[in-house]
Amino acid sequence: MTPSKKRVEIYTDGACSGNPGTGGWAAVLLYNGHKKEISGAQFDTTNNRMELTAIIEGLKMLKEPCRVTVYSDSAYSVDPFLKNWIDGWIMRGWRTASKDDVKNVDLWQTLLDLKHVHEVEFVKVKGHSDNELNNRCDLLARTAIKQINPKQSINTLPVTTIPDDI
């Protein structure tokens, strides 16, 4: 008899200061009475990339295949699965129904790879409302934006050419 997969809940959120701009992401993972919070930030990104990154990073934390419920307030991240848009995107070579290029294909492909490892169900929650863990993720993502150190990012540092005579 095969043991059943662990059931994990992951709450996620992304934020961006400017869009594009400096972004943050966060996830709260719940398993068997335990809670783990993760977050991060990056420069020169978009809110949608941070929303997807939060889900991806949450799923990457799992050490074995699990049954996962992902809670997100991002229609951008959830609707492609709930409304089966992603299957159409793939069939059309990563183009939308209106023949536009799908944005953030790299992240969508990573998320699909993780979705093949785990049984993932997506749930859309109302953002900035009474969902305590969604609000916690929002706070963690916004805090990550504030804590990021500009000197650590090559994206924001000007490129200085070295004179030939040095």
Choice among 23, 24, 51, 58 that is catalytic: 51
DSSP, collapsed to helix, strand or coil, labels residue 136 as: helix
Determine which one of 13, 24, 40, 118 is catalytic. 13
Residue 51 known to be catalytic? yes
Catalytic residue among 23, 24, 118, 138: 138
How many Cβ atoms sit within 10 Å of the Cβ of residue 17? 15
8-state DSSP, 64: S
Among residues 9, 14, 24, 40, the one annotated as catalytic is 14
Q: Is 28 exposed, middle or buried (0-12, 13-18, 19+ CB in 10 A)?
A: buried
Is 57 a catalytic site residue?
Answer: no
Catalytic residue among 87, 113, 128, 132: 128
For residue 112, which phi and psi values (nearest 5 degrees)?
A: -65, -40
Residue 118 annotated in active site = no
Catalytic residue selected from 24, 40, 58, 73: 73
- 138 as an active site residue: the answer is yes
- So which residues are the catalytic ones? 13-14, 51, 73, 128, 138
